Structure 1
Amino acid sequence: MKRGVAGVVIALMLGASAAWFASMAYAADAPRGRIIANANACMGCHAVDRKLVGPSFQQIAARYKGDAQASVKLSRKVKDGGAGVWGMIPMPAHQSMSDADIRAVVDWVLAGAPSK
């Protein structure tokens, strides 16, 4: 019986290790902007390729394509929040995000939110 319990414990440990390594592989492959967006609940309102509560990241990239001030405008919008650009639902302010993290997310979004 002890062997059975030990076997289960080892299997659980191996499963947990595999999950940890898989998450590390994702983190290594995913763009920094996407990792930060996931960590700051951006994906609760935005998706990469479809509208949720707010516009998709790809829609945002398309709207601001060619706008030299896009990075500054969007960084300010993330930090301060806003409303009216994409409809009636306001975007909340993200005052606790660092400027570097905001810039990483904005740069990733303006690049079309690539997966790698």
Structure 2
Amino acid sequence: MKRIIFSPAFLIGISLSLSLAGCGGPDSQKAESASEQSMADTAEAVSDTTAVITDTATLASPTEPATATTEKSSPKPAEKVKAKPATSTSAISQGKALMAKSDCFACHKTDVKLVGPAYEEVAAKYPDTEENFSKLADKIVNGGAGVWGEVPMSPHPQISSSDAKKMAQYILSLK
């Protein structure tokens, strides 16, 4: 069984059309009066039965009759989200090129754990923030241990802090 829902404007328009069609004949006075009453009844009925549809899935089910939900869904509270730092595509591509020239891929792969974690795992763990770019750049230059297991990451003092930061930006862009 299909259910058809007419908008209030449509119903009032139909009533108005009917009232205009009755003008000009000998019974036009009676028709006009009846039409005005019909319009008032229609407007009252529409205001009493107006429903807010919030779940369109209930209208599209082929096995069940269509229904309308009259409850208004409550708005979700706004989530606090830190703005992502603007990491330029230039910095990301420079970081990728710097990593290709280094020995990083001897211990790390993009999507598979080797000696160290996969870069995608690192990207999933650390959000793209200035703080994390600096933190990871420091680990690249000075080395580190204990975060991803017992095998320590060797230091790379030959890499400048700014280059290490670009490398970290590339890694965190792999989300």
1:40 to 88, 99, 102: 102
2:171 to 85, 97, 109: 109
Q: Work out the percentage of aligned pairs sharing the same amino acid.
A: 35
Q: Is the 8 A contact 2:128 2:172 kept in 1?
A: no
Aligned 1:10-89 pairs, distance under 5 A: 31-65=93-127, 69-89=131-151
Structure 2: give runs of 5+ residues left out of the alignment: 1-91
What's the TM-score, normalizing by structure 1? Answer: 0.66
Q: Is the 8 A contact 2:110 2:118 kept in 1?
A: yes
Deviation at 1:33, TM superposition (A): 1.5
**Structure possessing the higher relative contact order (Cα contacts under 8 Å, 6 or more residues apart):** 1
Q: Is the 8 A contact 2:111 2:118 kept in 1?
A: yes
Q: Is the 8 A contact 2:133 2:165 kept in 1?
A: yes
CA deviations over 1:4-36 (Å, ceiling 9, x no partner)? xxxxxxxxxxxxxxxxxxxxxxxxxx9221221
Letter in 2 for 1:61: A
Between Structure 1 and Structure 2, whose CA radius of gyration is higher? 2
What's the TM-score, normalizing by structure 2? Answer: 0.45
Instruction: Please identify which structure carries the higher helix content.
Output: 1
Taking structure 1 as reference, are residues 33 and 68 closer, same or farther at Cα in structure 2, changes over 3 Å only? Answer: closer
Deviation at 1:68, TM superposition (A): 5.3
Q: What is the RMSD computed on CA atoms of the aligned residues?
A: 1.8
Structure 1: give runs of 5+ residues left out of the alignment: 1-29
Q: For residues 80 and 109 of structure 1, what CA distance do their matches in structure 2 show?
A: 17
Aligned residues: 84
Letter in 1 for 2:169: D
Q: For residues 100 and 72 of structure 1, what CA distance do their matches in structure 2 show?
A: 9
